Amino acid sequence: SDYHFEYTECDVLGSRWRVAVPNKADICTGLPDPVKGTQCFSCNEGEYLDMQSQQCQKCAAGTYSLGTSVAFDEWDSLPTGFVTHGVITNEGNDQTDCSSTWTPKGDYIASNTDECTATLSYAVNLKQPGSLSFEYFYPDTSIYFEFFVQNDQCQSTDSNSRWMRISESSWSKYTVELNKGNNVLYWRTIAYSLQGSAVKPVLLRNIQISVAYTSECFHCKPGTHSANPGSARCTPCPADTYSNKGATTCHECEEDKYAVGSASCKPRPACTSSDYFYTHTPCDSEGKTQLMYKWIEPKICSETVEGALKLPASGEKQTCPPCNPGFFVSNSSTCEPCPSGSFSNGTCTECPAGTEPVVGFEYKWWNTMPANMKSTVYNQVFWEVAGEYIYTTPGDQDTDYLMLTLSVPGYLPQSMVKDAERSELSRITFVFETICTADCKLYFLAGYNQWNNDVVERWNGRNHKQSYSYLIQSNSTVSFTWTFKRTDGTERNYSADVAKIYSIVITNAIGGVATKCPRCALTSVKAGSACVLCPPGHYMVNGTGACQKCPPNTFIRTDQPVGEAACIRCGPNTTTNKQAYTACLSDCILDLRTSKGALLHYDFSPLANVTSVHSSPRFTSKGLRYFHRFNLGLCGTEGRMPASCVDNVTESGREVKGYVCQSTVVPSDIRSQSLVSSQPFLIGDSLIVTTETTLGNISSPQWMFAAALGLPDVLFYYSSDATQSCQQGRSATVRMRCDPTVTAKNRIMLPNCSEGTCDGCTFHFLWQSQHACPLCTKNHYREIVSACIQGIQRTTYVWQQPVQCYGGQPLPAQKVSACVTLDFWLKFGVSTGAVAAVLLISLICYFWKKTRLQYKYSRLMMTSGGRECELPTADSCAIMEGEDAEDDLMDLTKKSFFTKIKSFSRERTSDGFDSVPLKSS
């Protein structure tokens, strides 16, 4: 008992050695010498290798062996070799208790559901390459679940292949090849319960590891047995029988007791209405259906106990409900789909000319389970039809996940050409109700391929009859699942809690039937349709089928009535896409007028690329840090790259695209990623640009951000389709604020409200940037003219303060020009004045002298009496001293001014004296 035998690896000749290995080091001496072993081989199923004789022996009754594999299917406690531990996810909080790890639950082992990383590991050394297989149940995307293998060099499995797929219906099986040598197996989970609701743990069972040989057989677990030697597996005990560990037979329970795969029997409770369910038979030739009652299997209740209910009588005939839309009653009284090109609301009718059938599935009468729906997991039916609805039957345990799956082969091409971010392939709408006394949960999941189901919406507790719609935007969405769970208890105490689905409608599905034939699509039609084609931007005139062009700057919506009402006018500062006429876009260049009438030109092209912004960190109750990331594509032409948010948790990689989207981001080391993104949703996929603070039902209050100084903010409004929580649809507002000092392109602020929104439906952003300023024009600068210095004058241009523009027309360069100084003009003026004064004085002197002589001569002529050559006689002999002869003469002979002027014209002699002709004596 102090040692055991092992084989060495097989050599190139196919031989090996048997070696004795002590169970503990240095506990004994005298170990047996190595012995040449048998040739490399493995035992068959039901056998084990006896190391003493080195021969394969059959397992005894009550035990089993897989021959070349080790199986772990009993989880009452942690099997030998398995290690589980928890570590804190958020390194900054050392006080977080992470004692919860993987917990054995009998038939399986369950992971933790808190915010700690829990790891389950097992080490195995293989002498030759082998394999590993296990079954797991992974229904909740709020838990990240990965499996990987490390070799003896601590090299791990590729991170891209270690992520586990979501379980579509129930238990999923996983198989992986193992290399020769040391292999350490890791199952690791971490839960991110951001919504405060409970999450479902990951379950593991039936772990099998292939080895070169097994040297022992395993005992059958309680509730199973193996009657014969050499069994490869143990057989479950029939209902109402039990067995202990390693049993060879199962024992009958007493009449008033029951057992279901257990080691003991329990007393049977009294039968109640929760122990049976009802269903309908298919319609017969008379159009009748029978109401049938059935016990829930396995039956554990007793009808003989006092107060027990009996199973109601079956067979009551009722009138069959009508066929679902798109179906008709055939000769065999069954509902058959209408042929292609026709529609039905009870009877099939061919679509009239100018219309096309709208195909899909509409289930509102539940006489039989539709062909593309199922509710069977391991032959156990969870949902049953009941005429007006389909409902959940009581299960074996309250923890059962009752699943109903609708499969869709695909979707038809869109009848209208749409841009990618507004794409809607299909829409599923269902009406449901939950009636619960416990904390029941109803989940709606979308399957993005044959492996993955992601939770779209969940409802807790009692929910009154209501409708829910989900848009299908990808061809990869091929299934839809409704999952109902009554409570977390392991007993059957709340079997009466029920979920009901009254109707399910899915549009545009391949293989669907037509319920109506509306007029042809407004812009284009599918291949093979008989509709009249209308070119893009045209609508079909009601009643005539003629095509009419929509007014300028409008786009077409097919969900609007036929006619001009289908032409929707674009909002302010947006234009329709000219190719398809399906949306209004902005090329990031626009003109806006201020309240004072000034025209401003904007160019937001430098900010058009997709930009990310994060909310402030938030923390869960355990200190786990997470935040919300918004991706924003401000504007752009039709070929722009839209903003996208992805879910990199699951293999499907679900992605939403539009102008604005949000995802939840958690820093994590899961899958060797620095960030894990999940729960993406679209906020805005249509755009309007304006400076108004209110647009329709969307408002951007001034108090959300500090008031702008100077120019008003330019507001971008985005909106998307309505959801269950946002009946008016989600929307977003982006305030573009001019700040020439901000050179970064991603300075985006969120309001003080939680996570960028105050009501959960409208999100607000403030984007400050120099590129949010209007383009500069000549009105934004002024010129300064300097003084004339040394014949040079400079003209300098400077911006008006404060600067409220960027880009556009650049500031003109400084201009230099020649000029004349003030000193030159002063000298020139003085010189010119002096010359003019001298000239004027000279003229005055000249004319004065000339006038004087002429005057004297005139006097002489006037006194001569008109006789030639005769001087006038003197009145006296001489002029007395002191007398002024000239003055007397002027007083006596006064002449007019014109006479004087006339006398000026007389000629003078060359000597300057007047020439007077004299007569000879």
- Condensed to tens digits (0 to 9), the pLDDT of residues 367-395 reads 888 888 888 654 466 888 888 899 988 87
Q: How far is CA 671 from CA 86, 122, 144, 457, in A?
A: 17, 19, 9, 26
Q: Is residue 671 helix, strand or coil? A: helix
Which range among 534-543, 570-579, 622-631 shows the weakest confidence by mean pLDDT?
Answer: 534-543
Residue 713, both tokens: 């903010």
Q: Cis peptide before 298, with omega less than 30 degrees from 0?
A: yes
- Condensed to tens digits (0 to 9), the pLDDT of residues 553-604 reads 887 765 555 567 778 788 778 888 777 777 788 888 888 887 777 888 999 9
Q: Is residue 648 helix, strand or coil? A: coil
Residue 733, both tokens: 């507002």
Q: Which residue has the higher pLDDT, 118 or 341?
A: 118
Q: Is residue 830 helix, strand or coil? A: helix
Q: In which band, very low, low, confident or very high, does the pLDDT at 225 lie, cut at 50, 70 and 90?
A: very high
Whether 473 shows a pLDDT value over 60: the answer reads: yes
- Condensed to tens digits (0 to 9), the pLDDT of residues 241-252 reads 999 989 999 999
Domains with residue ranges and CATH for the chain: 70-212 (2.60.120.200), 340-516 (2.60.120.200), 534-581 (no CATH), 590-594+598-773 (2.70.130.10), 781-818 (no CATH)
Which range among 373-377, 500-504, 705-709, 847-851 shows the weakest confidence by mean pLDDT?
Answer: 373-377
Reduced DSSP (H G I as helix, E B as strand, rest coil) percent helix, strand, coil of the chain, to 5 = 10, 40, 55
Which range among 275-284, 443-452, 848-857 shows the weakest confidence by mean pLDDT?
Answer: 443-452
Spatial strand order in the sheet of 82-88: 82-88, 116-126, 181-191, 143-151
What share of the chain has pLDDT > 90, as a percent?
A: 9
Which range among 19-23, 489-493, 680-684, 700-704 shows the weakest confidence by mean pLDDT?
Answer: 489-493
Q: Is residue 749 helix, strand or coil? A: strand
Q: How far is CA 798 from CA 394, 602, 709, 789, 792, in A?
A: 83, 21, 21, 21, 20
- Condensed to tens digits (0 to 9), the pLDDT of residues 765-788 reads 999 999 899 999 888 888 888 888
Q: In which band, very low, low, confident or very high, does the pLDDT at 197 lie, cut at 50, 70 and 90?
A: low
**Mean pLDDT, residues 265-289 taken together:** 84
> Are the C-beta atoms of 85 and 122 separated by less than 8 Å?
no
Q: In which band, very low, low, confident or very high, does the pLDDT at 499 lie, cut at 50, 70 and 90?
A: very high
DSSP conformation class of 88:
E
Q: Which residue has the higher pLDDT, 62 or 827?
A: 62
- Condensed to tens digits (0 to 9), the pLDDT of residues 127-185 reads 778 888 999 988 777 788 889 898 877 777 666 667 787 775 578 888 888 888 888 99
pLDDT for 897: 47
pLDDT for 821: 65
Q: Which residue has the higher pLDDT, 621 or 569?
A: 569
pLDDT for 546: 67
**Mean pLDDT, residues 194-223 taken together:** 80
pLDDT for 226: 92
Q: Which residue has the higher pLDDT, 347 or 300?
A: 300
Report the chain's C-alpha Rg in angstroms.
52
> Are the C-beta atoms of 649 and 676 separated by less than 8 Å?
yes
> Are the C-beta atoms of 472 and 424 separated by less than 8 Å?
yes
**Mean pLDDT, residues 539-563 taken together:** 69
pLDDT for 346: 65
Mean model confidence pLDDT for the chain: 79
pLDDT for 552: 85
Residue 771, both tokens: 């590129």
Measured CA angle at 122 (ends 158, 172), to 5 deg = 65
